[in-house]
Structure 1
């Protein structure tokens, strides 16, 4: 694993493990909402949201960390990602995490 991969994986794990921040709780619900609205899953649960979060490209993770995942710029990036990977997401395929910073 590369240095960059370790840092981003640590960011993902730290974010997902945060159970005290209201912002993080709301964003996790937002991920579920996106999955439902885009018809990826019929009733997305927290595990579905976690799978989705860990599938997001690094650029979305970094910008989401900085601006918040519900910021309009990040929302648009997430929706573009969902649109491009709808089939893979609905089948819960393991996607290669892209590093583009």
Structure 2
């Protein structure tokens, strides 16, 4: 594993494990709702959302840290990711995380 991979994975894990920030909780709910809106799951659980979050390309994670998941540019990237990988996401298949920034 590369240094960059370790840092980005740590960012993902720290974000996901944050139970105290109301912003993070709101964004998790946003991601959960997005999965339902885009038809990935009929009802997305928190575990479904966690799975989805950990499939996101690093460029989305970095932009979301800077702008928030609600930002229109980040939302557009999320929807594109969903549309590109929808069949795999619906099956909760393992996706290779993209680390291009």
For the aligned pair, the TM-score class normalised by the smaller chain equals: over 0.9
Give structure 1 stretches of 5+ with no counterpart. Answer: none
Give the structure 2 partner of residue 2 of structure 1: 2
1:100 shift after superposition: 1.0
The residue matched to 1:55 in structure 2 has which SS? Answer: coil
Q: RMSD of the TM alignment (CA)?
A: 0.5
* 1:46-65 equivalent positions in 2, closer than 5 A: 46-65=46-65
Structure 1: distance between partners of 2:77 and 2:100: 13
1:45 shift after superposition: 0.8
With the length of structure 2 as denominator, give the TM-score of the two structures: 0.98
Structure 2: distance between partners of 1:47 and 1:84: 21
With the length of structure 1 as denominator, give the TM-score of the two structures: 0.98
Could you list the structure 1 runs, at least 4 aligned residues long, displaced by more than 3 angstroms after superposition: none
The residue matched to 1:13 in structure 2 has which SS? Answer: helix
Give structure 2 stretches of 5+ with no counterpart. Answer: none
Give the structure 1 partner of residue 71 of structure 2: 71
The residue matched to 2:54 in structure 1 has which SS? Answer: helix
Alignment: residue pair count: 101
Please give the per-residue CA displacement for 1:55-100, whole angstroms capped at 9, x wherever unaligned. 0000000000111011111000000110111001001010000011
